[in-house]
Amino acid sequence: MDFRFTQEQEALRQEVRDWLRREIPARWIEMGVALWEENDEIWAIARDFERKLAAKGWLAPGYPSRYGGIDATPMEQAIVGEEKAYAGAPAMLSDVLAAGWVGPTILLFGTEEQKERYVGGIGRGELVFCLGYSEPEAGSDLAAVQTTAVEDGDHYIINGQKIFTSLAHRADYCWMAARTDRDAPKHKGISMFVVDMKTPGVTVRPLVNMLGFHEFNEVFFDNVHIPKENMVGEKNRGWYTLIAALNFERSVVYIPAANRRLIEELVSYARETPWEGGVLADNPLVRHKLAEMALENEVCRLLCYRVVWMQTRGMIPAYETSVSYLHTAELTRRLAHIAMEMLGLYGQLDKSSKWAPLKGAIKSLCLGALGLGIGGGTNEIQRNIIATIGLGLPRG
């Protein structure tokens, strides 16, 4: 099997790499932005950088050029994503969420007007989306959503609550699931909508995450009137649209690239940190664990490439995205704990301390990585998908 990239793909990788080296703001590097950290300055820098990416066609490279992309193949999209992640480019969840999940789904199921308005707006770096999925009684079992959308003339009236909605306080629109038929089986009565967050009746309340940052929110919809044309896809068949969006979400080729950068930084730290008359890298246990993480991360990268390969050939990954997502989530958690063991008590320091190694990234990673096994479907949900769809095992 030939794992080499084509000359054109290697040229794209080098072009992106060189551009990132020039364009990543010095202030971003100086701040050492932590995983899931969010404030006004971070948001402003990230949004400005996203617009620069959009001008190159690299914010959403897979989009058609008319919507701000470069008609990139799935592998070319993966290359751009890898290079951004490895370089530590300014990014918020808004980048991945809108450009990587919402936009491609609207391209599949939306009308021409929806594609022009929303996909084009995302590709040009103009629009920010949040996800209206989870509810107080509907998390891993998304089909249990209770937020309703009732038809009323030329509008739908939405009532309900969403929770753990990332960046709802920054978003222009919410990509949301709502129940349009209460009497249908729960997988059959859901529809997908785009809701303007400035619509009367939408209330956003902050939820501070365990790192102390305001990224999550709870969102209330109180008689929110939206035009009928804001429905994406067929009425009562939104579950299939939602599953497509989740498959895009679980294609996480950028995470192994970010992990590779961290592993390299940990190797450098081990080579420079004194330990029992030598350096930490002299400890065979440290060497063994770092080598193990490097190998597992490469496996993770190849699992992600498998998904990309399938997409390149027009195939629809099903359980394969769950395999890559599950392995990535668990590997990142293990990597965070191994890094904390290496750094000892210093690993618990925040970047505000001058004694914090790696700008306090390990503390943030240990806390933030917990979400990788929850968002996008818990690890248990991924195992169920792998068991039933991948292995053909009966449902419990």
* Beta bridge mates, 224: 158
d(CA 251, CA 328): 10
Q: What ranges in the chain are assigned the alpha helix state H? A: 7-23, 26-31, 40-56, 74-87, 93-94, 103-109, 112-114, 120-123, 238-249, 254-272, 284-312, 319-343, 361-368, 379-385
Task: Name the pairing type of β-strands 148-152 and 190-196.
Answer: unpaired
- The number of beta carbons lying within 10 Å of the beta carbon of residue 117 is 17
How big is the CA angle at 314 (ends 312 and 315), to the nearest 5 degrees?
105
- For residue 117, what are the contacts with CB-CB under 8 A and spacing of at least 6? none
Catalytic site residue from 38, 76, 218, 249: 249
* Dist. CA 376–CA 304, nearest whole Å: 16
Amino acid at 131: L
Entry field: residues in the chain: 396
296 labelled catalytic: no
69 token code pair: 């992309």
Q: How far apart are CA 199 and CA 47, in angstroms?
A: 23
Q: DSSP class of residue 393?
A: P
Which letter does DSSP use for residue 138 in this model? B
Q: Where are the beta strands (DSSP E) in 199-348?
A: 202-208, 214-227, 231-232, 274-275, 278-279
* CA 262 from centre of chain: 18
Main-chain dihedrals φ then ψ at residue 62, nearest 5 degrees: -80, -10
Which sequence positions are flagged as catalytic?
Answer: 249
